Structure 1
Amino acid sequence: MFVITFANPKGGSGKTTSAMLLAEQIALSGGRVAVLDLDPNANILGWFNARQSEGRSTPFGVHARPQAEDTVALIDSLDGSADYLIIDLEGSKDQIVTYALSRTDLCLIPMDGSPMEARQAAQAVRLIETTGNMIRTRIPYALLFTRTNAAFQTTDERDVRSEMEQNNISTLPVRIAKRAPYTRIFRDNVLLSELPAIIEAETEGKSASVTDKALKQVISAIENAQDYAQTVIDHLTKARAA
């Protein structure tokens, strides 16, 4: 079982959305996926429970935050029933974060391209490296740029990428753009893959141009999510091989 964690001490970094998109895309490709929601806000768990209460299926299971001392046992118990375990970590330096990192094959640090978020990401990097030193095992990690402009790369993002490269900090080449369909996932308790049919139903009776415009936004979001998931899997495979 591959364990992929998402960490960032700053709220609003796109951490939970990134975890959700990855879970769905891997599940749709045939992988057995489990999600462990360690974030105190429990947005993924709330999303999952809402779907369950409405009788809607979900291609992956979601597990609630356990007691800190039970974290490693829970993670280990999922090995065999899941090919991938995706963990949405809480932002603080709580002991439960250290426990989860100790079982991590790849930690992704979502951030936008601003210098302020780069400093927050540096805190996550230090925590990952400190945990790796404690368990005497290197924990692979990479920065993931999220909530970016879909049309172009900002000067700040280019500068941050250059700075990270100079400091030998890995960054994923793919970016998760700021898109309305990603916000709608949590607002309406839907999967990204469900949105095309929802849009078609909502625009029924309207002009073709209105429908096409709405669908184009969703298709672009899906393609972005697919590219992102494939990049993560490629990075994870290389990290495991190393």
Structure 2
Amino acid sequence: MPVIVAANPKGGSGKSTSCIVLGTTLAARGATVRIIDADPQRTLGRWAEGKSIHREIVTTPRAGEDLTDLIDTLATEVQFVIIDVQGTANQEMAAAMSRADLVLIPMQAKTADAEVATRAIGLLRSQEKLFKRKIPHAIIFMRTSPIIVTREEKEIRESIANAGIPRFKAGLNERTAFSHMFAQKAGLGELTPAETNGLIAARVNAEAFTAEVIEVLRKGIA
């Protein structure tokens, strides 16, 4: 079953957001999902302490537990395994990448983020050489405006395209709903329009991103 890793050495890049949006959207569709919160900050672990109907999709590794063993076990039990790894280009990130059917590289459309994201791509390339296989991957822009594309964002998009780095068409925009998912420890389907502005647009955004992930996986696994 597909293993999806969200990786970027930069903290605050949007790894946890991309994981929880993707995981809960898949779960709401009826898929069986486990999100491994391998980041010491335990952002997703804290989210799972709430009352969401999807809270059991989050798994936190036990102390001393081998991450690759956990990934391999869960991949035999559920349809999708998603891993939120530590925001450091370390051995754990490399181990997760070694099992990945798809690596998401979340980043904001900022020059500083783009420079750091190249470290994740460099680590991915080393894993490809080590395991002698291509690892499908793509950048996903986070917290972008759905209305205005800044000059900096245009330049970064062009630079990524020129470098031949794949990028998702559907980024996750700056949406109140994505912040409320963590504040209320809920899935998008559990939030209400009365409390969350732009909820419908956020759901459409999440569905578009999830559909594109599934499309990329199908092409990569076929």
Q: TM-score, normalised by structure 1?
A: 0.86
Query: What's the counterpart of residue 202 of structure 2?
Result: 221
- What is the distance in 2 between the residues matched to 1:33 and 1:6? 15
Tell me the alpha carbon deviations over residues 187-238 of structure 1, each in whole angstroms, 9 at most, x when there is no partner.
1111111112xx44x5xxxxxxxxxxx55x1111111111111111111211
Q: Displacement, 1:169?
A: 0.6
Q: Distance in 1 between matches of 2:55 and 2:65?
A: 28
Higher mean C-alpha deviation, range 21-30 or range 63-72: 63-72
Task: Give the C-alpha shift of residue 81 in structure 1.
Answer: 1.7
Amino acid of the structure 2 residue aligned with 1:157: E
Alignment match of 1:105 (pick from 83, 101, 126): 101
The answer to whether the 8 A contact 1:108-1:144 is kept is: yes
For residues 151 and 237 of structure 1, what CA distance do their matches in structure 2 show? Answer: 30
Determine if the alignment matches structure 1 residue 231 to structure 2 residue 212: yes
Q: Which residue identity lines up with residue 161 of structure 1 in the other structure?
A: R
Identity %: 32
Q: Residues 115-134 of structure 1 correspond to what in structure 2 (within 5 A)?
A: 115-134=111-130
Residue in structure 1 matched with residue 69 of structure 2 by the alignment: 73
8 A contact 1:185–1:192 mirrored in 2: yes
Contact 1:27 1:60 in 2 (8 A): no
Q: Which protein is bigger by CA-based radius of gyration?
A: 1
User: 5+ unaligned residues in a row in structure 2: which ranges?
Assistant: none
How far off is 1:60 after superposition?
4.9
Q: Which has the higher helix share?
A: 1
Residue in structure 2 matched with residue 173 of structure 1 by the alignment? 169
Moved beyond 6 Å, runs of 4+: none
Separation of aligned partners in 2, 1:97 and 1:15:
12
How far does residue 67 in structure 1 lie from its aligned partner after superposition? 5.0
Letter of the structure 1 residue corresponding to residue 68 of structure 2: V
**Take 1:239 and 1:22, find their aligned partners in 2: how far apart are those partners?**
18
| Aligned amino acid, residue 217 of structure 2 | L
Compute the displacement of 1:99 (Å).
1.4
Equivalent position of 1:88 in the other structure: 84
**Number of paired residues?**
222
Letter in 1 for 2:111: P
Q: Structure 1: where are the runs of 5+ without partners?
A: 203-213
Shift of 1:14: 1.2
* Partner Cα separation in structure 2 for residue 97 and residue 65 of structure 1: 14
Q: Determine the C-alpha separation between the residues in 2 that align with 1:66 and 1:3.
A: 19
Instruction: Tell me which amino acid in the other structure corresponds to 2:44.
Output: I
- Answering whether residue 60 of structure 2 is matched by residue 64 of structure 1, we say yes
Distance in 2, matches of 1:65 and 1:109, equals 22
Correspondence for 1:210: none
- In structure 2, the residue matched to 1:49 is 49
CA distances 1:57-83 after superposition (whole Å, capped 9, x unpaired): 327521113456611111111123210
1:39 aligns with 2:20: no
Q: CA deviation at 1:21?
A: 0.3
Post-superposition Cα deviations, 1:117-164, rounded to whole Å, max 9, x if no partner, equal 110111110011111211222211100011101212222122111111
Instruction: Please report how far the alpha carbon of residue 239 of structure 1 lies from its aligned counterpart in structure 2 after TM superposition.
Output: 1.9
